Amino acid sequence: MHIRRLTLQDVPSFRALRLSALRDEPTAFGASYEEEAAFSPEVTATRLAEHPDQGVFGAFDGATLLGIIALRRENMRKLRHKGMIFGMYVAPEARGKGIGRSLLSQALALAQSVPELLQVNLSVNASNVAAISLYESLGFETFGREPGAMKIDDVLHEELHMFWHPVRPTGV
């Protein structure tokens, strides 16, 4: 298994895995399959553009993309001290092998490398026990619970809001 930042050459495999994730696990994402299926490859490519303080990572087995995660930094001046983990997904056939932990660790390593980034947030479906356990094992803490955060096929889904603080060397 190899984890790396995705590049523009990865647009087709990223798009395919992302659409599979949205179709197969709709309660795990705020975006819908229908919305993202309508995006052009150019729109998808903008997500993979490299920035020093944010990025999309992929887990590969050879040339096959099996997992993805994104770290985005807030743009607004008063919020730039925060980042957001989103879009985490591991293909069903690759689960239980530590890929999610490796992806999350890579995204958090990027967050830790940005001195101004003081907090990383994420939202997770409150019924996704495996994801919550993974996040907690890497130091995320719950700071809120949002009833009815998403509505899918007339069913309301609750989300937990979690945060993580990068470990900084003394004096930073």
Running DSSP on this structure, what letter comes out for residue 121? E
Instruction: Taking residues 41-70, report their average pLDDT.
Output: 94
Angle at 45 between CA 73 and CA 81, to 5 degrees: 5
pLDDT at 31: 95
**pTM for the model:** 0.93
Angle at 30 between CA 35 and CA 52, to 5 degrees: 95
Rounded CA separation 32/40 (Å): 15
Using CA of residue 43, residue 45, residue 49, residue 53, what is the dihedral sign? positive
67-103 pLDDT, tens digit each = 999 999 999 999 999 999 999 999 999 999 999 999 9
Confidence of residue 14 (pLDDT cuts 50, 70, 90): very high
Contact between 82 and 117 under an 8 Å Cβ cutoff? The reply is yes
Confidence of residue 28 (pLDDT cuts 50, 70, 90): very high
Interior/surface letters 133-172, b for 16+ CB within 10 angstroms, e for the rest: ebbeeeebeeeeeeeebbeeeeeebebbebbbebeeeeee
> Which of these CATH numbers, 3.40.50.2300, 3.40.630.30, 3.10.180.10, 1.10.3720.10, describes 2-164?
3.40.630.30
Confidence of residue 167 (pLDDT cuts 50, 70, 90): confident
Confidence of residue 170 (pLDDT cuts 50, 70, 90): low
pLDDT at 50: 83
Residue % of the chain over a pLDDT of 70: 97
> What is the side-by-side order of every strand in the sheet holding 55-61?
2-5, 55-61, 64-73, 82-90, 119-125, 155-164, 141-152
